[in-house]
Structures are given as C-alpha cells and as structure tokens.
Amino acid sequence: MRDDRRHFLKTAGALVVSFSTGATAWARSAPGAITPSKTVNKEALDAWLAIGRDNSITVYSGKVDLGTGTRTALAQIAAEELDVAFDRVEMVMGDTGTTPDQWLTGANLTIAQGGSELRRAAASARAALIERAAQRLGAAPADLMVDDGVVRVKGDPSRHASYGELIERGFEIKVDSKAALKKAADYRIVGRNIPRVDIPGKVTGEWTYVHDFRLPGMLHARVIRSPIFGARVSSVDDRGARAVAGFVQTVRKGDFLAVVAKTEWAAIKASRAIGVQWGEGTRLPDKGTVFQTWRARPVAKTEATQKAGDAPAALAQAVRRVKASYEFSVQTHASLGPSCAVAQFKEGQLTVWSASQATHSMQTELAGITGLPPASIRLVYLEGAGCYGRNGHEDATADAAVIAQAIGKPVRVQWMREDETARAPKSPPRAMDFEAGLDAQGNVIAWNADFWIALNHIVAFKPLDFPLLAATEMGQPKPGNWVGFLFQNAGMGYTVPNIRVETHHVAETFFRSAHLRSPGRIENSFANEGFMDELAHAAGADPAEFRLRNLKDARAEAVIRAAMKLAGWQTRVGINPAAGSGSVVRGRGISYTRYNNAITYVAAVAEVEVNRDSGAVRVTRLCIGHDCGQMINPDGVANQVQGGALQTVSRTLMEEVQWTPERVTSVDWVTYPIARFTDLPKVDIELIDRPGEPAWGVGEPTAVVIPGAIANAIFDATGARLRSVPFTPEKVKAALAAAPARA
C-alpha cells in the first residue's frame, strides 16, 4: 500500500484528511469539524481532485469499489485525462466528508456514469492547468504539452511548470461540461491491464476492510433479532448477559436490542445469554404455492413496458401459438463476510465507518434514525465483503450508529452468519407469462408477455429511504421495496413486428426486498431467452441461428458469434442426437441479452451434463461473448465476467431462500448452499474491445444470460424445459417426466 493511502486510513480515524506532502490549504480540516473544509459540491472542480505540490493527485469519488476493481479503473480514467502517471493517483471513495455524491454504487453505473463524471472533471482540470501554465510561461496553450503532470513549452522543454506549482490554492472553478476529452487513439493508461491496487494488501492481510478498522477504546456489540418473522419484543431479561465477563451494557430502543461488551467474544456470549420473549410474528406465505400467491397479490400499477404493432390481432392470425410461464425464486446476497460497521458519537457528531454502497444516502437515512442533522453525520467508506446489491451493510451501519449514540463510546458491530443469510434483504419472487405466434415460415409475428414484478420505490439519482432494520425496530416504518429497476429487459430485444409486454407491479413483497445482482434483468432475460428458445424449437430452427435471424444489430451478432465460436457451436434443430444414452446426457444452449436493451451486449453458450436418474445438473463449460464498448481495464472486465458467470451458475442451480410460515430457515451455508470449486465450470471469454465507444458497465450483464443458457442446454440434452429457477434435482426430474419421450 502506498504511503498516502495508509496515511489517509490512519488519519480518517481522527476525522482529518491531510496529505503527507504538499497539501493544499483548504484540504485540511478545521479542528473539531465533522468534515474537512473541502467542497463536495459536484459542480465544483475541487470536489473531485486535489493536487499536491509534489504532483500527487487525490481523486475524490462518490462511487465506491465494491470489490470489483473500480478503485483501479477510475484511477486509470483520471490519470489518462490528466496526463499523469497512474502511480501518482490516489483514490478516496465514498467519504461523505470529502467526496461528491454520485448516487449509490450499483445499477452497473460506476464506470458508465461515475467514470464519465470523473473523466469530465479531470479533463476540466487539465485544461485549467494548461491555461495557468500558458500565463506563467508566456506561451499559447496550443504550444504546450503535458508529460506526467509537468507542462512544457513544445520545442523549449526547459520552460516548464508542474501541476503542483500551478495548483496554488486549488482550482476554484466549476467543472467544464464541455471540456475537450482525450481521443481513444491517444490513450496510454485506459485500456491497459494495470494490476489492481488493492490486491497486494488483500493477499497479505494488510488491507483494511471495515471489519478490520479499530478505534481507541472501541467496544464490541451484537444485535439480537427475532428468529420469528416479524415478531416484536415482549420482554427482555438481561441477567444472563450481565453475568458474562466483559459485558458492558444492554441497549434497547423499542424493538431494537443489542448487547455491548469489551470483547467480541463477550458480546457474542452475552447475545446468546440474554433472555428475550418474542411476541407473535407475521406469517409468511406457504412456500410451496408462493408463485400463485405472488400473482394474486394486489397490483399497484400496470405499465406497458414495450409495445409495437398489434400483438393480440397478430396472435389471432398465427399458424402456431406457443404458451409458457416462468418463475424465479427468492434469493439472497449471501455475502461471505457478515456485515459490519464501526461508529463513534462524540460532541454531537456521528461518524460511521461503513461498507455501504450508498454512504451519501445513508447520511440522510441515519439523520432520520438518530435525530441528528445530516451535517453532523459523516460516513467513511471502507470495503466489506462483496455485496452484489443491498445486503446487510446498510443495516449494520444503522445498528452501529444507534448503539454509538446510545453509549457515547466507539463501537464495532458485526453481524453473525444468521443475520446476513436470514435477515439481510432478499430479492423478490418473479412470475412471467408468455404467448407468441409464428407464421407458416416460422417467423415470430406476435409476442405477448406479462411480468409480475415487485413495485420499486427507488428513484434514480435521489436519496434512498430504506426500511432499515433498526429504523423499523425503533418504530419508524418506511415503504417497502428498494428492488431496483425491475422492468428493465422485460422488453425483448428481437425484431418482432407485434409486441405487447406489460409489467404488473405487485404492491408488497413477503420479505424486506432489495436489489440483487442484475435486479429484474436476470429474471426477465431468463424468461425471455428461455421462451425464445421454445420458439426456435417450434419454428424448427437452430436456437443460435434463430436469434441471429431476429436481430438487426451488428454488435449483438458479434457477441453471439463470438460465444458460438468459442464453444464450437454445432448447428442443429431439436434435441442433441449425441446427448448420450446412459444416465448422464449432454447438451448446449445459448442465451443473449443487451443489458437494459441499451448498453452492454453479452451472449453465453452453456454446456451441461444432466443426470436423468438423480436430476442433478452440472455445467461443464461456459463460453461468453461480451462487448461493453471501450474497456478501461480488460483484465478487470474479464474478472467481472468470470465472476458474474460463476456466481450465477450457483444461483441458477441451487439457490433459493427457505422458509416456514414462522421463520426464514436459510441461516447458514448448509441451509443456503452455494456452489463449490467442485461444482463449477471453466469459463472461456471473448471480450470485444470498442476503443472510443462509450464505456459501459460490466458488473451485471454476464449474470443476466447464464440462467437462460443453462435452461436451454438442459433442453438440448433432454428435451425438458426448465422454467423455474433454481433448477433443483426435484424440478429437473419433474421436467424430465413432463417432457416428450426422446427419440
């Protein structure tokens, strides 16, 4: 780790951001202030960048690195536009005291939105520094060049001034939305596989995750939550907890209950020793009929998500009609590390070190819970375990804030495994119905689809107001679903003349619901691509050729052909004639999606083995074609593509939250299993680079195409259609029994 960042992490504890060398005066904190006296106004250039006299560059990013490598990729973007060496750039991420609010980190937007905002700021900075150098050196801007942060006069390089000399008190200008951007042909840092800056620290134990952050005099807390779903506290008897050596105190605010101790182990023992009587819970629906219940729930609104021509009329004229329904079960983020936060409340000021993907939003959410003004609350981002959406990080952040305020001492809260698996937010269930019509030539002439999706309360680029557990327990109910933009990719991406796609927004979910990696797109694409495969079969077409026939987009075709080529795709109609004759049969399937029907293109071919006796499915290989436009760091893209693919194999084959009417029974890795090394396939990837094209996100798109590709491969192997994720052995056996006998 470089000295500057280490210095920041150390000094962050004292609420001071300063630079070890050449700090600009305004970046220093006033004594006792909750935040350093630095602007975080997005329009001000000084919100984004600080330059030290030694030419060190500090970038302030409201977007955070959730373990995806964006700390490195964003630094590449900044270094490129500024014309400085990559190693000069240090990133400060997600600190509400020093970074601009760029909205939450998610929705595949860190590079596309966050990176382009930062790029614009860096280009503005370079232009401003050139302007100052022109004055100082007595030369026209056009006669100047920049070499690693030193501005020189072309043809007379002895006349020069460094950024550090030119910066003086800061920029004190606005970001120029029209600042000229560097051309892709001139890139020297963007597009290169620069090794991630966090990895050396992470493989040696030197990296500071939020779990590792410590304050002097810090205590440890554990929160006690009902195992019975929705139950409130009837009575508490903490005599057992008091008997634990190291116990400090119990904190109770309404139904919010926590124990505080001098050590983690004492806090855990106290949390197990405390006596709590829980009241009646709110009953969960029968799990076996959850999708019927879901479809029958009150719908808040119905939207025409996609419309073309007259689908009902075209259906009536179809030579062949195909109908099917699809489902996607409730899943959870299941982060490997239970969520954690550290908080300090001192002299009316609250500081929380948090792994939240939405620290700026948490500032106002915590204000609501603590009664403090937002200006007295600072969140400092430190990485947690990967979250893949809103896991328990935000809840743990609120827990730590409430406890710190109650006890007036620094406190660290870490959730236990059961808290993360059972009580962190869940993805909502999903049901999808299709009917399509083909003409005599096998062309799709009508596509009619209905999606039952959870109503969403997220407004893009507005603060969130999530039903955090602590808020609810303290008697501050909030509207329910922060599930992301679930309508995305309900609309299909093929050139069908008559389309009617409606989304029915179910008003309330069963669980506290939040976005989980590729919210909406993964479920919608699974269903659209599974159904598209059914139409290919009905049309007597090869599934890949059928897709290509119904696309008019060269970049879409390119990712499909790339995946086909990697897989050695064999064109055929119907079930694999070489699937095998024993218990284990083999097949391959394809799936394609353009993320949001607007950005990253991705196609996957899955190869599977299906055990017809046990119903077990094994994915043996995945071949991915991927086009996200301009790649910032191709190896970082590959890492995300592989990760999205492998995580989704797990979700597709085995993941489903378990519950009884009384409680969530998925509480650990035995009751919510995920795929192991021995379960996972090889992933082969072709990344199509598009230098100069807009840079789109890569964290989510690959996940979207995996369930469909696996379902379609199972069909190729067996003739059985899997229309409900996850594809458990029971469902596979049922589908095999329902499938037409194989020739």
Partner 1 sequence: MARITLRVNGATQSVDADPDTPLLYVLRDDLGLHGPKFGCGLGQCGACTVHLEGEAVRSCSVPVSAVAGKKVTTLEGLGSTAKPHPLQQAFIDEQAVQCGYCINGMIMTSAALLRKNGKPSEEQIRAALAGNLCRCGTHQRITAAVRRAALAA
- Interface with partner 1 by CB under 8 A: which residues? 1, 66-69, 195-196, 198-209, 211-212, 214, 220, 245-246, 263-266, 268, 334-338, 383-386, 388, 414, 416-417, 635-636, 639-640, 642-648, 650, 668-670, 674, 676-678, 680, 682-683
Burial 316-341 (b: 16+ CB within 10 A, else e): eebeeebebbbbbbbbbbbbebbbbb
Here the tokens at position 79 are 């270094």
Q: C-beta of 649: minimal distance to partner 1 in Å?
A: 8
The residue among 224 and 432 lying less far from partner 1, judged by its C-beta, is 224
Pair type for strands 320-328 and 444-454: unpaired
The residue among 363 and 633 lying less far from partner 1, judged by its C-beta, is 633
What backbone torsions phi and psi does residue 709 show, to the nearest 5 degrees? -65, -40
Q: C-beta of 132: minimal distance to partner 1 in Å?
A: 37
Q: Which residues are CB-neighbours of 249 under 8 A, at least 6 positions away?
A: 259, 260, 407
Pair type for strands 682-687 and 617-627: parallel
The residue among 461 and 669 lying less far from partner 1, judged by its C-beta, is 669
Cα–Cα distance measured from residue 681 to residue 145, given in angstroms and rounded to the nearest whole number:
50
What backbone torsions phi and psi does residue 603 show, to the nearest 5 degrees? -135, 145
Q: What is the identity of the amino acid at 284?
A: L
Q: Both ends of the chain: CA-CA distance in Å?
A: 62
Cα–Cα distance measured from residue 717 to residue 576, given in angstroms and rounded to the nearest whole number:
6
Q: C-beta of 264: minimal distance to partner 1 in Å?
A: 5
Q: C-beta of 552: minimal distance to partner 1 in Å?
A: 33
Q: C-beta of 454: minimal distance to partner 1 in Å?
A: 23
The residue among 33 and 199 lying less far from partner 1, judged by its C-beta, is 199
CA 16 to chain CA mean position, Å: 30
Q: C-beta of 460: minimal distance to partner 1 in Å?
A: 25
What backbone torsions phi and psi does residue 332 show, to the nearest 5 degrees? -135, 160
Q: C-beta of 229: minimal distance to partner 1 in Å?
A: 22
The residue among 387 and 717 lying less far from partner 1, judged by its C-beta, is 387
The residue among 450 and 655 lying less far from partner 1, judged by its C-beta, is 655
Q: C-beta of 265: minimal distance to partner 1 in Å?
A: 4
Q: C-beta of 518: minimal distance to partner 1 in Å?
A: 13
What is the sign of the dihedral through the CA atoms of 562, 726, 501 and 440? positive
Q: C-beta of 638: minimal distance to partner 1 in Å?
A: 9
Q: C-beta of 417: minimal distance to partner 1 in Å?
A: 4
The residue among 444 and 604 lying less far from partner 1, judged by its C-beta, is 604
Closest to 426 (Cα-Cα) out of 330, 294, 286: 330
The residue among 384 and 493 lying less far from partner 1, judged by its C-beta, is 384
The residue among 318 and 334 lying less far from partner 1, judged by its C-beta, is 334
Here the tokens at position 474 are 């303290």
The residue among 680 and 739 lying less far from partner 1, judged by its C-beta, is 680
Q: C-beta of 679: minimal distance to partner 1 in Å?
A: 9
Closest to 342 (Cα-Cα) out of 407, 414, 257: 414
Closest to 657 (Cα-Cα) out of 487, 453, 521, 509: 509
Q: C-beta of 409: minimal distance to partner 1 in Å?
A: 16
The residue among 36 and 701 lying less far from partner 1, judged by its C-beta, is 701
Query: Is the CB of residue 428 less than 8 Å from the CB of residue 513?
Result: yes
Q: C-beta of 673: minimal distance to partner 1 in Å?
A: 9
- Under DSSP, the state recorded for 260 is E
The residue among 349 and 665 lying less far from partner 1, judged by its C-beta, is 665
Cα–Cα distance measured from residue 642 to residue 547, given in angstroms and rounded to the nearest whole number:
24
Cα–Cα distance measured from residue 145 to residue 128, given in angstroms and rounded to the nearest whole number:
13
Pair type for strands 617-627 and 601-611: antiparallel
- Under DSSP, the state recorded for 174 is B
Largest CA distance in the chain: 85
Q: C-beta of 676: minimal distance to partner 1 in Å?
A: 5
Here the tokens at position 57 are 């560059």
The residue among 213 and 256 lying less far from partner 1, judged by its C-beta, is 213
The residue among 171 and 353 lying less far from partner 1, judged by its C-beta, is 353
The residue among 46 and 65 lying less far from partner 1, judged by its C-beta, is 65
Cα–Cα distance measured from residue 505 to residue 518, given in angstroms and rounded to the nearest whole number:
18
Q: Which residues are CB-neighbours of 434 under 8 A, at least 6 positions away?
A: 322, 323, 324, 325, 326, 447, 448, 449, 527, 531
Q: Which residues are CB-neighbours of 573 under 8 A, at least 6 positions away?
A: 537, 540, 541, 542
What backbone torsions phi and psi does residue 491 show, to the nearest 5 degrees? -65, 140
Q: Residue 220 forms beta bridges with which residues?
A: 261, 412
Query: Is the CB of residue 370 less than 8 Å from the CB of residue 352?
Result: no
∠ CA 638-339-514 to the nearest 5 degrees? 70
Cα–Cα distance measured from residue 670 to residue 270, given in angstroms and rounded to the nearest whole number:
25
Place of tokens 């009837």: 234
Q: By 3-state DSSP, what share of the chain in percent is helix, strand and coil, each rounded to 5?
A: 35, 25, 45
* Length of the chain measured in residues: 743
Closest to 541 (Cα-Cα) out of 590, 498, 503: 590
Q: C-beta of 325: minimal distance to partner 1 in Å?
A: 29
The residue among 363 and 421 lying less far from partner 1, judged by its C-beta, is 421
